[in-house]
């Protein structure tokens, strides 16, 4: 079937992957990434560059929404080979693969280094492009949160002497 590109675009499968992006939950400052740098260390072509976590004047890590966050997170798309290793090694489900592949630029390399602001996409966007994978991630995060949540206080039985 012939497609009249760019007016009509071929639908990609949910497993289609191109370049990685960073996932945030509610707002862009609610980034899942805690700058553990595992993705940076495991990246075969070394295209991920992270500076962080952010620190205060005393050198203590700053936190947003109870998590540390990277000061800088860059991915050089000219080097990235879309292998998905960064996604697989991330223990916080903070990085996922996108299905957008059109990055035309008049500059040969300048626009191919994506910074944190360019990489940020919402968890809702992730659910739209990869619903089954996003459901697995949500279930895993909910289970992890249930484990770390404080146990519920037992209900206090009514005092029989006051009745």
**pLDDT value of residue 3:** 74
Q: Residue 111 sits in which domain range?
A: 20-145
Assigned domain for 11 exists: no
Assigned domain for 157 exists: no
Assigned domain for 160 exists: no
pLDDT over 90 (residue 13): no
**What DSSP string runs through the chain?**
----TTTS-PPPPTT---SEEEEESSSTTSBS-----HHHHH-TT--EEEE---B-TTSPBPEETTEE--SEEEEETTT-----HHHHH-TT--EEE--------SSSSGGGEE-HHHHEEEHHHHHHH-HHHHHHHHHHHHHHHHHHSPPPPPPPPP-GGG-
Assigned domain for 4 exists: no
Q: To the nearest whole percent, how much of the chain has pLDDT over 70? A: 89
Assigned domain for 8 exists: no
What are 142's two structure tokens? 């909910």
Assigned domain for 50 exists: yes
Task: Tell me how crowded residue 15 is: count the other CB atoms within 10 A of its CB.
Answer: 10
What are 26's two structure tokens? 């509610």
d(C-alpha 35, C-alpha 64), whole Å: 12
For the chain, the domain total comes to 1
Assigned domain for 6 exists: no
Assigned domain for 152 exists: no
- What value, to the nearest 5°, has the Cα angle with vertex 28 and ends 98 and 131? 40
User: Which CATH number goes with the domain that contains 68?
Assistant: 3.30.70.3270
Specify the pTM.
0.79
Span 49-105, pLDDT tens digits: 999 888 888 888 888 878 888 999 999 998 999 999 999 999 999 999 998 877 777
């Amino acid at each position: 079937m012939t497609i009249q590109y760019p007016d009509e675009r071929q639908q990609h499968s949910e497993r289609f992957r191109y370049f990685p992006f960073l996932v945030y939950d509610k707002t862009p400052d609610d980034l899942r990434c805690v700058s553990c740098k595992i993705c940076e260390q495991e990246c075969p072509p070394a295209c991920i560059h992270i500076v962080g976590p952010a620190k205060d004047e005393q050198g203590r890590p700053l936190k947003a929404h109870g998590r540390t966050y990277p000061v800088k997170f860059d991915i050089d798309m000219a080097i990235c080979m879309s292998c998905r290793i960064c996604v697989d090694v991330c223990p916080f489900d903070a990085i996922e693969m996108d299905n957008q592949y059109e990055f035309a630029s008049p500059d040969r390399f300048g626009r191919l280094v994506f910074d944190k602001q360019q990489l940020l996409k919402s968890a809702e966007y992730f659910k739209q492009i990869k619903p089954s994978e996003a459901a697995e991630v949500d279930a895993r995060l909910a289970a992890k949160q249930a484990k770390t949540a404080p146990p519920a206080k037992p209900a206090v039985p009514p005092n029989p002497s006051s009745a």
